[in-house]
Each structure stands twice: as structure tokens, then as C-alpha cells.
Structure 1
Amino acid sequence: MHGRPRMEEALDVLHAELEVERAAKAELTTRAAWRAFIRFAWRRFATAPTPDSDGLLLQYGTYAFSGRPMFTVDLTRQFDISDDGGEHDHYVQIHCELRYECEPALDALESFNSWFFHDSGEDLDKWLAAMEGHLDPLLARVPSEIDVYDDPV
């Protein structure tokens, strides 16, 4: 893992990628946030060399996490955190949540989720292309809210 940033730097890396997009536009569209997430997804961090230590998740649906229902796209990176003995202790997730006011076109998308894990032998380009297809109806939209945070789970 020599030369890779530490997992603890992942939130700052995602913030920096979003700032690159924000600096280029007046408003951060879903497409711009997705481009930032793609660059973040390709960036490898110092993780254990196991198939589940570094995962990516795209999920969306209508949820009322903040009190009122909103259509939420959650772009997530999950890291496995091990204890001193090398055993799984917990996960840390880095989230970029894009929230949109509910409307029939978004409700029609229903809910969706898909995982990708680095070092699993799967093709990241193929997963990203498939996920972009799911996001296509949203790419030109500007989210009502964007929240970037980390969360131990």
C-alpha cells in the first residue's frame, strides 16, 4: 500500500474532487458530483488486500431521513476497519448524498442499490458505466441539497 493515501484521508479527497467540479460550474449538477465520485472511486487507499476491504455503493430511493420525504442518491465508499489482530472491527462509510424534491418522475425510479468491491476481480469501468445508466435521468438535475460526511457502521 506504499504511496496510497490513508483511509482517514478519504473524506478530504472526496471534498477536493467535488471542489474541482464546483469551481468549474455555478451549480453542482448530479453529473458533476458523479464525475467527482468516479475519480474518487478510482483512487486507491491503504486498505487490507482483501476483497471486501474497499467497497463502492450506489443507492437511491425516496426516504425521509431529514424529516420530509426526498429522493436521495447516496454515493458511498466503505472501508473495512480491522482491530490490532487483523479481525474485522467495523466499517467506515464516506457518503455523498444528493437530495431532490419528490416528483412523479423520480418516484417512478423507485429504489436501487449496487455494490462494487476493489480487489474482487470485477471490472470497475463496467460497474461505473452501468451505474451511470441508472443515474441517467438525474444527470442534468441540480440537487436541492448535498451532504458529504463519514459514518462508522
Structure 2
Amino acid sequence: MTRRPSIDEAVGLLEGELTAGQRVLADLGTEDVWQAYLRFGRQLFDISDGSVADGLLFQYGNYSFGGPETFTLDLTRQFEILDADGDYDHYVQVYCECRYEAEPALQALGSFDSWFFHGSGGDLDEWAHSLTVRPEWTTLRTFKPTGIRVYQDQV
């Protein structure tokens, strides 16, 4: 049986997918980041079972995080953490945050979000396809992020 990685390994695994082939983050386009995120999303982790125990989030919008407003594509993986009694305690989220110049075409996209949960019985590839056939993807994929940040947080 193959060992499943722990949540503590998630950031390193995502960074590994992003830099596969000795690439640096600054060289990645939106499509490159998306494909790396999907490879990361296919990896199963050592977590509890449950319909919301392991989720992937695709979201974008125009945000101001203490500075000028910028367009952000946020690809997040969320893991549910249970307490000793098997009840919900908190979530751990692993983020791949792509920021872009304030381009009118990106700003015009507004905001959008979509979740996929491994325990829901859905198909990850079908979810991914449903996002990439959206008209916004045609615009989004033509831009290169000006910054990519990978990090983990507890919520």
C-alpha cells in the first residue's frame, strides 16, 4: 500500500509541482499554475474520511489586501482537522495565490468561486474541465501572474 503524505507535507508538494522541471515561479503562466495545482489536487493525503475533509477551491476577483486593488486567482486546498473525539476542530488551507497587474480585462471578470470535494463522489477532471470551458478562462489564461505565493494557514 502506498503511503499517503501528511498535511504537513502539502506546501512542499505543491511547490514541487509548481517548480517541476526546474522552473522558477516567476516563469510560470496561469495555465502552468493551473496544471500544477491539478496535479497537486490529485494527490491523496492522510486525512479523515468525510465529504468535506479534502476540498479544492478555485476563486478569483479584485481585492485590496492593504494596498492597491489587484486581480487575484486563488487556488486553495482545504483539509478538515478533527479533534480527539472525531469532531470538527478546524481547517488547514494550502494556498497558491496568483496576483496580476490591474488589467481592465481581468478587472472586468468580477469574482467567481467553485469548490470540489474528494469525498463528494464527484470527478476532479470533470470539475476542472467545467472551469476551463467558462468564457472567463479564455481571458484569464492569457495573462501571466506578476507574483505567486504559496503558503499554509489554519482557519
TM-score category (smaller protein): over 0.9
State how 1:32-51 maps to structure 2 within 5 Å. Answer: 32-51=32-51
Identity %, equivalent residues? 48
Letter in 1 for 2:93: Q
Report the counterpart of residue 137 of structure 1 in structure 2: 139
Post-superposition shift, 1:98?
0.4
> How many equivalent residue pairs?
153
Distance 1:84 1:128 in 2: 34
Post-superposition shift, 1:137?
1.5
Report the counterpart of residue 5 of structure 2 in structure 1: 5
Report the counterpart of residue 27 of structure 1 in structure 2: 27
Post-superposition shift, 1:70?
0.4
Q: Confirm or deny: 8 A CA contact 2:59 2:75 kept in the other structure.
A: yes
Report the counterpart of residue 146 of structure 1 in structure 2: 148
SS in 2 for 1:136: helix
Deviations 1:16-48 (A, max 9, x none): 001116628971111111110010010110111
Deviations 1:96-144 (A, max 9, x none): 0000111221111110000010011111111011122343312232111
TM-score by length of 2: 0.91
Letter in 2 for 1:98: C
Q: What's the RMSD between the two structures over aligned residues?
A: 1.9
State how 1:1-150 maps to structure 2 within 5 Å. Answer: 3-20=3-20, 23=23, 27-134=27-134, 135-150=137-152
Q: Confirm or deny: 8 A CA contact 1:22 1:28 kept in the other structure.
A: no
TM-score by length of 1: 0.93
Q: Confirm or deny: 8 A CA contact 1:80 1:92 kept in the other structure.
A: yes
Letter in 2 for 1:149: Y
SS in 1 for 2:36: helix
Extract unaligned runs of 5+ from structure 1.
Answer: none
Distance 2:51 2:21 in 1: 30
Distance 1:120 1:151 in 2: 24
Q: Which structure 1 residue ranges, 4+ long, deviate > 4 Å from structure 2? A: none
Extract unaligned runs of 5+ from structure 2.
Answer: none
Distance 2:2 2:85 in 1: 21
Post-superposition shift, 1:66?
4.3
